[in-house]
Structure 1
Amino acid sequence: MEPQRRKVAGPVAPSSMKAARKSFMVTNTYVKNLTPDKEIVAVHTSAPSIEYRSHHSAQNQIYQGEVNVLSIIDTNKDIMCCKYTEDTREIAAGFTDGSIRLFDCMNGNCTHTLMDDECRSYPGPVTAIKHRPVSKAHPISNTILSSYVNGCIKCWTYKYNQCIYTIREKRQTLGLCYHPRFTKFVTYGDDAKLNMYDEEAQTQERTFYSSQRKGIIDGHTSRIFACVFNPKSHHELISGGWDDVVVCWDDRQPFATKYFTGVHMCGEGLDFDKPGKQILTCSWQDKDSIQIWDYGSCKLIETIVPDNHNCKLYCGKLVPQTNLAICGGSDANILRVVDINLKMTECSIRNNPGAIYCIDFGTVRRKPTKVPDTYKKVSEIQSIPRVALVTGKRLQIVDFG
């Protein structure tokens, strides 16, 4: 059955007719060390010791609340995704021409360019950049994993500008997600399937897909744009996409175990809370774009309307150890810091140069202020880490509080 979507969705990265791959395979490839030529148009970076910046009029951006602009990097190509490196000293940005560039977070200089002959021959926008979660069992490896519209998944060692291996899928690969504890990752794309890989063996373990039985929803029927693992489970994950369904998977089951509907996703707008009991959905729709769901029953807990600015959302994340969420999208091109409990916008950046396709968290700049037990903590803004966001041709890093 050909995957179909139920409604008109948001803009997605264009594909290349030359990008079709004949079969799934893994190869080892190496790239030449190439320096970027006039890729960066302008850089405005403040040192981390400076607490407040006054970029509030930059290209008609409107800042609400305590927003500190740490860095603005304007380029001459559209950026689709971004990701901090494992040590958070650099940030990687994926462009529509298939190139990945790493920028120094201190001065904004481009330190590495990742692009091989295959990316030049079969150009496809970069759809996601991830790295393995850092822990005692998984130390820093100085590698990143990237996916492309042309079906490639490439592992790069950015210190040497080399591609370690390439996995080729016969589809448009729209994103990927790492397992929080195991050396596994999942890719998803336009064929309504999720593929799970073992990173160390570089082999595909299994595929998650619908049984296509009539009247039963146990998988996706259209493009998948978001996936996240349950932080308290070794086996459970959820995904969402164009078919307006968030599907709950268990890798011990042949098909999906449960689902909930009414969420139209066009980006990485899914997230679990730390206990793994509630789900945040940030959807690309005019109404009910920010919602909290109960994972156990798949029932809606509440819909949050934080302000009167309508915005179709591409991405969203819960801030660890707080009641805050950060989300961004199109129309108003707004980035919000939302208080889940108070249902209000604490800080925002409106009128950005383009839609907010992707955000990522860095480190917390300030040490938390000690509050006496007799006082109730009013704001958690200072607990928000640095936030990197991509908007049009701009890569911007901000802080709050």
Structure 2
Amino acid sequence: MDPQRKTAAGPMAPTSIKTARKSFAVTNTYVRPHVEKEIITVHTSTPQTEKRSHTAQQNQVYQGDVNVLSIIDTNKDIMCCKYTEDVNSIAAGFSDGSIRVFCCHTGTCSNTLVDDETRAYPGPVTAIKHRPVSKAHPITNMLLSSYVNGCIKCWKYKYDQCLYTIREKRQTLGLSYHPRFSKFVTYGDDAKLCMYDEEAQTQERAFYSSQQKNVINGHTSRIFACAFNPKSHHELISGGWDDTVLCWDDRQPFATRYFTGVHMCGEGLDFDKPGREILTCSWQEKDCIQLWDYGSCKLIKTIVPDNYASKLYCGKLVPQTNLIVCGGSDANILRVVDINMNITECCIRNNPGDVYAFDFGTTRRKPRKGTESYKKLSEIGQVPRVSFVTGKRLQTVDFG
């Protein structure tokens, strides 16, 4: 099956001819201090001095109970963001290949992650992740990042040090960690997913199509999203430009199941906690928020929460609630949506740019006991603080 899209739909970067010729390899690199200051303005409010904002700031429109915690404006486009393991800092990946780590309390840039390679062959940062924290996997103070030029770099961010680099011969468009094992998957423009052992820094296997005629068991275009089943050691899903979400099992050679009609341009795939339902937030005008049954790959429901049409890049289920958070283009909107009541609880519209990515921080508010209010039923107070990227801005908000 030929790819259904010929032109770029998502946040794409120009191809670097020099870096595209690099082969897969692992090296150890170290960085030099980077002193160039590129933060323009910083506006923060700590929990003690926090003020609730209901007015527009630089044409932003806030709907519902939205609390602005910090706004960091820079002079370069930001592509992705990720909280550190201790949730005290947040890392932002820029279009020039640099990563800056900001303190959540002050908004100051504490570390800048660049090395000679990212300076010589700059490529936008496509994803920043860290290994899920658990008793088996304690805090390591490390971040893993992917770049459009094919590099995957592991950073000891408190020391501005790159521990190792993996180079892929493709545009690497994202990565996802296994929820339990020290493994991660990368995906890119060659329609393949590659699984790596983090400790050995070696590739274990690849997921791709069998190329059989009239058989859909692999991707045929760029891959932008991947999510592991939280209740399985071996199962994962992926989506991209071929309008197909595929279900994989690393014990099988090719994809086992699929469903179509979902055009992915970002991290818009997520599992619910039991691993039985899939959320898709897709970059399309209609049916952009949908819930699917994982076992049968059948559509459960399509959610239309408001009248603001928005093609979505990213979306996640809020743990232990009936809410989702999603963001996209057109209205440049970030929403909190109640999927049971089919309404938008809170939103931020007219942001400076498309909302490419966001990440959950800590849950600062607990639902009040003994109240029979609508807010308690909607569970809005359980939504964690959210940091999202929009244009050249990194903004952190809280809801409820």
Alignment TM-score, normalising by the size of structure 1: 0.97
Instruction: Quote how far apart the aligned CAs of 1:51 are.
Output: 4.4
Aligned partner of 2:261 in structure 1 is 262
Aligned partner of 1:297 in structure 2 is 296
Instruction: Quote how far apart the aligned CAs of 1:10 are.
Output: 3.1
Aligned residue type for 1:90:
S
User: Is the counterpart of residue 23 in structure 1 residue 23 in structure 2?
Assistant: yes
Aligned residue type for 1:23:
S
Distance 2:219 2:351 in 1: 33
SS at match of 2:118: helix
Alignment of 1:132-281 (within 5 A): 132-281=131-280
Counterpart contact for 1:124–1:150, Cα < 8 Å: yes
Distance 1:11 1:361 in 2: 21
Aligned partner of 2:65 in structure 1 is 66
Instruction: Quote how far apart the aligned CAs of 1:376 are.
Output: 10
Identity %: 78
Counterpart contact for 1:226–1:268, Cα < 8 Å: yes
Aligned partner of 2:106 in structure 1 is 107
Aligned partner of 2:398 in structure 1 is 399
SS at match of 2:185: strand
Alignment of 1:85-96 (within 5 A): 85-96=84-95
Distance 2:68 2:230 in 1: 31
Counterpart contact for 2:277–2:291, Cα < 8 Å: yes
Rate the CA distance shift 1:44–1:223 in 2: closer, same or farther, 3 A: same
Distance 1:183 1:197 in 2: 9
User: Is the counterpart of residue 46 in structure 1 residue 52 in structure 2?
Assistant: no
Distance 2:162 2:99 in 1: 12
Counterpart contact for 1:19–1:123, Cα < 8 Å: no
Aligned residue type for 1:289:
C
Instruction: Quote how far apart the aligned CAs of 1:7 are.
Output: 5.9
Distance 1:363 1:79 in 2: 22
Rate the CA distance shift 1:264–1:360 in 2: closer, same or farther, 3 A: same
Distance 2:377 2:277 in 1: 23
Aligned partner of 1:123 in structure 2 is 122
Aligned residues: 399
Aligned residue type for 2:227:
V
Distance 2:396 2:76 in 1: 18
1:145-173 Cα offsets, whole Å, 9 max, x none, are: 00000000000000110000000000000
Aligned residue type for 1:211:
S
Aligned residue type for 2:93:
G
SS at match of 1:378: helix
User: Is the counterpart of residue 378 in structure 1 residue 377 in structure 2?
Assistant: yes
Counterpart contact for 2:54–2:66, Cα < 8 Å: no
Distance 1:22 1:223 in 2: 19
Give structure 1 regions of 4+ aligned residues with deviation exceeding 4 angstroms.
372-376
Alignment TM-score, normalising by the size of structure 2: 0.97
Instruction: Quote how far apart the aligned CAs of 1:371 are.
Output: 3.6
Instruction: Quote how far apart the aligned CAs of 1:306 are.
Output: 0.3
Rate the CA distance shift 1:287–1:374 in 2: closer, same or farther, 3 A: closer
Distance 2:229 2:328 in 1: 24
SS at match of 1:136: coil
User: Is the counterpart of residue 338 in structure 1 residue 337 in structure 2?
Assistant: yes
Aligned partner of 1:84 in structure 2 is 83
Rate the CA distance shift 1:216–1:69 in 2: closer, same or farther, 3 A: same
Distance 2:324 2:218 in 1: 27
Rate the CA distance shift 1:376–1:328 in 2: closer, same or farther, 3 A: closer
Counterpart contact for 1:371–1:377, Cα < 8 Å: no
Aligned residue type for 1:169:
E
Instruction: Quote how far apart the aligned CAs of 1:375 are.
Output: 11
SS at match of 2:337: strand
1:124-147 Cα offsets, whole Å, 9 max, x none, are: 000000000000110000000000
Distance 1:395 1:367 in 2: 25
SS at match of 2:378: coil
Instruction: Quote how far apart the aligned CAs of 1:4 are.
Output: 3.1
Instruction: Quote how far apart the aligned CAs of 1:58 are.
Output: 1.2
SS at match of 1:119: helix
CA RMSD of aligned residues (A): 1.6
Aligned partner of 2:96 in structure 1 is 97
Counterpart contact for 1:80–1:357, Cα < 8 Å: yes
Distance 2:45 2:89 in 1: 15
Distance 1:262 1:60 in 2: 34
1:105-141 Cα offsets, whole Å, 9 max, x none, are: 0010000000000001111000000000000110000
Aligned partner of 1:6 in structure 2 is 5
Counterpart contact for 2:326–2:335, Cα < 8 Å: yes
Aligned residue type for 1:354:
G
Aligned residue type for 1:134:
V
Aligned residue type for 2:255:
A
Select between 341-350 and 5-14 the one with higher mean Cα deviation. Answer: 5-14
Counterpart contact for 1:178–1:184, Cα < 8 Å: yes
Counterpart contact for 1:21–1:168, Cα < 8 Å: no
Distance 1:56 1:377 in 2: 24
SS at match of 1:23: coil
Distance 1:193 1:351 in 2: 35
Distance 1:281 1:376 in 2: 25
Aligned residue type for 1:56:
T
User: Is the counterpart of residue 389 in structure 1 residue 398 in structure 2?
Assistant: no
SS at match of 2:49: coil
